[in-house]
Chains A and B, each alone.
Chain A
Amino acid sequence: MNQLSDRKYIIIGVFILVGLAYISRLFYIQVINDSYKLDARNQAFRYKTEFPNRGYIYDRNNKLLVYNEAAYDLMVLPKEIKNIDTTDLCQLLGITKEDFLKKMKKATQSPNSPRKESIFEKQLSPTDYASLQERLYRFPGFWVQSRTLRKYPQKIAAHMLGYIGEADKEMTEKDPYYNEGDYIGISGVEKTYEKALRGKKGMHIIMKDVNNRDMGSYMNGMYDTLAIPGKPLKSTLDADLQLYGEKLMQNKIGSVVAIDPQTGEVLALITSPSYDPNLLVGRERAKNFAKLYLDTIAVPLFNRATMASYPPGSTFKLVMALIGQQEGVLTPETRYQCVGGYPPLGGHPKCHNHSSPLALYDAIGHSCNSYFSYVFKSIIENKKYHDTYKAYQAWRDIALSFNIGRKTGSDLANELRGNIPSIAYYDKVFGKGSWHASTVISLGIGQNELLVTPLQNANIVAIIANKGWYYTPHIIKAIGNNENDTTLARFKVKHYTMITDTAIYGNVIRGMSDAVQSGTAAALKIDGIDFCAKTGTAENPHGKDHSVFVAFAPKGNPRIAIAVLVENAGFGAAWAGPIASLMMEKYLTGKIKRPDLEKRMFDGDLIHNVKPSPPKKKTR
């Protein structure tokens, strides 16, 4: 009997063993294994995303540039479709039965699945939505999700504003905030300020019972998140000036950048040809995009203002004049010979007809190629260095401090760097030690391997107007009405070039003023406004020269610095000059007193092979 009572230990042992096994199993399925939690969420919850309103964008005078319009996506969860009248639905949506089957197939097959919701029909118009809404209850498995579409009341600044698109797989992997199909800024301000504009998606957790009925929000919405609307942006752009500039640039290829030198604020950023930003919105987006994308002649999607770099041409002579003085090899009295070209190299680079020799102001005013070739030579052969490399490096360093040859650091998406050739580059091309000033002489007149974007060119003018400093050019001045947002802090830092003596700038400004008073830009005077300018004709190895013009105004208290480039338009004063002059007049006075000039610019068509009427006076 005693032996039998020992059996209780075995029995209790079995009981405890089973208990332990069960508790371990519970630990596994409740604590270790997450798949059951996932399954539970998938079947008992529906996650309803609440898309926030994307932030509006205003110009500097609070004119609306971008707003939102409601659109409605018809969503589908195929496994929940039960007994629906397909014909009825097709009729409501205005699609054929084949379309319906095709869409259903798309919704059920990879990457979608019957258990995954997807968009069935994109961006229904408010009217379609209204008629569908009433009858939606008859189509279980379908529901409508409201989205917002961008609208552009002014139809301007397409490149600068950029566009939004749907996030693809790559984007969702990079940033898990996005789900496939979410809207995301692809270019322009929409891209740069995506985080501020998008706001934050909200999530509504709705409980479902086994029959897929809504059972209210989960835990009284404890885990719900509210959508936070995107912040409005205030742009530095002047919508009127932008619109005016775009009209001036119509039917021309090129770019205009206007900057307020005192703040670095971009007043106008024009790329031509442009397009109506409304084209890249809505159901027609893909079609329109393809059309714009395939236009390889005008390339309307190409943002020339920041992404095209051109040889600066004669406008670079301003920088040469500054560096020459800084390096002590040039004074306003320095005179150089011109023989219709640069004498030491047998008249190359060539020059045009003017009196000789000239001193600095006149050399700027008349844009003498020979003069600035001498200046370049004197900088590179500077006795102070006794070494081409050291002198070249000094020249290049000063040039770089004008925020060229590198990205300006602006808030414009996809900026190019431009180029100031490095020593290493020339060593590679000519061999180490076997190049000197004469080899690369055309750098002095802004040619050779020099490349500058229109934005950088405008910034150079702003620096000269300010006599040595600049704020990084930027396009947004306030985020959510806050001008002191930390993202904008970098635009409040004053940058100085390596040339700090304001007298040096004064000499160059005088030359620029002379160019307007009696030089190459004499035909472009604005009534009542003194301005300073420099024409340029950028040699273009691929065709007719580009017409370049830089200027700032008014001379005493600069409020606008502008760089204009019109491709294949010849002399700087022919097309770029008038456009710059008209824009400055428009910005500073609000009206135009030269309707003839304005009309000629409006009508000028340099794309469609219409011969423009030649300028009255041949200038450079």
Chain B
Amino acid sequence: MRQKSNTSIFYNIDWVTVFLYLILIIMGWMNIYSAVYNEDHNAITDMSQKYGKQMLWIGSSLLLALIILIIDENFYTAFAYFIFGAFLLANIAVPFLGREVKGSRSWFRFGDFGIQPAEFMKFAANLALAKFLSNQNIKIADYKNTFITLLIIGIPLIIIKVLQDETGLAIVFVAFIFSLYREGLSVNYLLLGFLAIVLFVLALLINNMYLFIIIATLCTVAFLFVKRNRKNLFLIATAGLIACSMVKGTSTVYEHMEPHQKVRIDVLLGRGTVNLKKEGYNVNQAKIAIGSGGFWGKGYLDGTQTKYDFVPEQDTDFIFCTVGEEWGFVGSSLVIILELFLIIRIVFMSERQRSPFSRIYGYGVASILFFHLTINVGMTIGLAPVIGIPLPFFSYGGSSLWSFTILLFIFIKLDSHRLQILR
């Protein structure tokens, strides 16, 4: 094996990934400029405007990336649990120590700038998860290990949801299901999860009584086609019962949701009459902005729907609308393709790791990015419920950009030492 002969911090790093990262943040910056364009302060470096601030965030992110590349790769394995614990504490502390901003208790404020520790929980949890699952004695299929895995994912989720009331930031942790699946999680869990989602949607759209009848019919039909023994009968009966209880559970879950969440689900599913001026406003405006872009878009800085505030949050969660309106189908597809290209590249990079830690971490990165992309773009085009999470590298915001940068560059650092097995 070759010794580390080259001591450059850029040695062996994956430049394609870095290049994609740079393209995306620069595109993001340009779109933020257009989304909040202010004629009186039209320099993209104007610090009083969000695009000026974003430049600061980009600069500091690049610095962070550099620092990550300088730090010894073994630091991340060694301190994985410590980092996890530290950020867990920060997240528990923020509702009590942080200043309340617009009803949100998830921010540490430093003058004009704010930091959201929940954003950093993602890479911390990813490190911890990688550390735990890469232990050679661990088999995910063991119930005990499954339980611990669920804790690593579930504790941050619950803390962020319950203490900080940040649904978007919390729900991201569900994304780790892809990592777990890759590491051997039984397909049954995924199918169960998938079934749950399908039944949840169906239960809201169709009369539950019909749904029960359909499930019963499907079970009977299934039974006719398999070998008729006691085991199969038991299996099918169980599946049917689980399905029925899921349907029954849906209404309970739905009833216990907060009104605005109910509404978002209703909007997505087109249940009842959606008032486009109230609950349906955001999604409708997002769709109008994107749809009006047409094939080629209206041209940079020439969007009307986003620039003139028809679309809410057009610089953060709804940044994709600016892309869709000004760059059209061509531009918005390109953004999706670039993001996906980065994500899939990360998957391939993960697979080339010799160390399980690096691989599991890499899958975590891909999962988190994919989840953000799916939800963020999905909500603007009416394919996903409105959940306030940013578009990776695009949306305005220091915390999210820092968090994604750290998340990605730790992996780039790990990847640059992919030939080492031991972690």
Contacts and interface: CB of A to CB of B under 8 A. Distances in A.
Contacts of B310: 43-44, 209-210
Contact of A36 (B183, B287, B378): B287
Interface in A28-53: 29-31, 33, 35-37, 39-41, 43-45
B305 to A, nearest CB: 5
B290 A23 contact: no
Given A11-B347, A15-B370, A45-B304, A209 B309 contact: yes
A11 B177 CA distance: 11
B291 A33 contact: yes
Given A25-B381, A26-B332, A209-B309, A19 B340 contact: yes
Nearest to A23: B333
Given A25-B381, A40-B304, A209-B309, A19 B291 contact: no
Nearest to A9: B347
B182 A210 contact: no
B290 A26 contact: yes
Contact of A31 (B288, B294, B309, B363): B294
A36 B383 CA distance: 16
B343 interface: yes
B313 interface: no
Most buried by B among A21, A41, A43: A43
B305 A29 contact: no
Interface in B293-345: 293-295, 299, 302, 304-305, 308-310, 324, 328-329, 332-333, 336-337, 340, 343-344
Given A15-B344, A16-B344, A36-B290, A44 B308 contact: yes
Contacts, number: 114
A16 B366 CA distance: 13
A579 to B, nearest CB: 66
Contacts of B287: 29, 36
B377 A22 contact: yes
Given A209-B309, A210-B309, A35 B347 contact: no
B351 interface: yes
A40 B286 CA distance: 10
Contacts of A31: 294-295, 329
Nearest to B356: A1
A18 B374 contact: yes
Most buried by B among A21, A23, A30: A30
B289 interface: yes
B381 A29 contact: yes
B403 to A, nearest CB: 21
A4 B304 contact: no
Nearest to B325: A40
Interface residues of A, number: 39
A617 interface: no
B292 A36 contact: yes
Contacts of B288: 36, 39-40, 43
A31 to B, nearest CB: 5
Interface in A170-222: 207-211, 215, 218-219
A27 to B, nearest CB: 6
A33 B287 CA distance: 11
A12 B367 CA distance: 11
Interface of B: 178, 181-184, 287-295, 299, 302, 304-305, 308-310, 324, 328-329, 332-333, 336-337, 340, 343-344, 347-348, 350-351, 363, 366, 370, 374, 377-378, 381-383
Minimum-distance CB pairs A-B, first 9: A36-B291, A40-B292, A209-B308, A44-B304, A29-B291, A30-B329, A210-B309, A19-B340, A39-B288
Given A35-B291, A210-B310, 15 more contacts: A4-B184, A5-B351, A7-B182, A8-B350, A15-B344, A25-B381, A25-B383, A26-B324, A26-B381, A30-B294, A30-B328, A37-B291, A39-B288, A40-B288, A40-B291
29 contacts: A4-B184, A8-B351, A11-B347, A11-B363, A18-B374, A19-B337, A21-B383, A22-B378, A22-B381, A25-B381, A25-B382, A25-B383, A26-B324, A26-B329, A27-B329, A27-B333, A30-B324, A31-B294, A31-B329, A36-B290, A39-B288, A39-B291, A45-B304, A207-B308, A208-B308, A209-B309, A209-B310, A210-B308, A219-B302
